[in-house]
Copies of this chain bind each other. A is one copy, B any other.
Amino acid sequence: MTEAAASAAPDIHGGTMRFPAAKALRLDSGARLAPLEIAYNTYGRLNADRSNAVLVCHALTGDQHLASVHPTTGKPGWWSRMVGPGKPLDPERHFIICSNVIGGCMGSTGPASIDPKTGQPYGLSFPVITIADMVRAQAMLVEALGVETLFAVIGGSMGGMQVLQWAADYPEKLFSAICIAGAPRHSAQNIAFHEVGRQAIMADPDWRGGGYERAGVRPEKGLAVARMAAHITYLSEAALQRKFGRELQRDGLSWGFDADFQVESYLRHQGASFVDRFDANSYLYITRAMDYFDLAAKHGGALTEAFAKARRVRFCVLSFSSDWLYPTAESREVVRALNAAGCRASFAEIESDKGHDAFLLDEPQLDATLRGFLGAQAQARGLA
């Protein structure tokens, strides 16, 4: 292990550590964020030539507890099935890093953090952030951990957007990049669903204009509705039909507004459990960052230009056939741009009826594809 990495004292067991950045983070909005702290977990050890680091980027409601028990829910980490001995991401071979995005609520600086100007939680005075800002913060962390080049950056959904942003902004720091169920920009429908969620939160009187922390309340009902609406978009119609159909909770209908159907009860549970582990203002800020995401826009409208310096990076782009939130067509657009930029890009549409959430679920073809791609890259990198 190198001195720089040692100084960051990675916990190979995946407990959360905090990286206090020495300097302010320059944001796309023009604001500067300071102090900046990044909460992260690591698994495995950086090898002697610092060539085995993998950065995993989480999705909207994910966090750094990639393969560690979640401190609030007590459940296994969100990608435990992908991380472990013999799994595609293997702490015995890889040094795996996963950090909470800025704007998040699991320890990285976000709207619930203390604003040094007021000594109070930021609330809505937290600056609006972008996917590029999240990536810029990750780059500071990765550098502090002594990693010059990431063997791989990988993520699904919003994590996939971060992967593409890494390729655009730091191609020289990447050996390979894996974008799963991602998109090069947020579509009108994506923005629309996010706006419904934000309006649900802001309609809750306990939101208090974003100042609920100071008031000692939380907009739980609004956040639960936001989660319920979003959750539908993460599943395919076929998956909902297969899991629930029109199955009832009890024998017979209630002839009222209780949860008659199992799908109602399931959704209510999704909403209720979400508010225990997530912060409403973080939900506003992170959905906003996703809405603002349009990788081509910063490059004169040409997505190919975003990848102009990434010709050396080895890409893998994956989509799911039943994902209607970030449909395969959007991944194909990324692949076309990568090809036009002269990048190496593998692409697969994985057949699945599980919808967008397939990247988090038991999908053997995904595991096999990642294992194959990472194995080939390890050989090319001299890791195998």
Contact = CB atoms under 8 A, between A and B. Distances in A.
Contacts of A128: 255-256
B29 A188 contact: no
Contacts of A261: 188, 191, 195, 291
Q: Give the size range of A's interface with the partner.
A: 35 or more
B191 A232 contact: no
A50 interface: no
A284 interface: yes
B291 A195 contact: no
Given A128-B255, A225-B225, A257-B124, A263 B192 contact: yes
A196 B267 contact: yes
A277 to B, nearest CB: 19
A359 B225 CA distance: 29
Most B-side CB within 10 Å, residue of A205, A245, A246: A246
Helix, strand, loop or mixed for chain A's interface?
A: helix
- Give the number of copies in the complex: 2
A79 interface: no
Interface of A: 29, 124, 127-128, 185-189, 191-193, 195-196, 198-200, 202-205, 221-222, 224-225, 228-229, 232, 237, 240-241, 243-246, 253, 255-257, 259-261, 263-264, 267-268, 271, 284, 288, 291-292, 294, 297, 324, 327
| Closest 7 A/B residue pairs (Cβ) | A203-B221, A188-B240, A128-B255, A188-B244, A195-B264, A189-B237, A29-B255
12 contacts: A187-B240, A188-B243, A188-B244, A189-B240, A191-B263, A192-B264, A192-B267, A199-B268, A200-B225, A205-B205, A257-B284, A257-B288
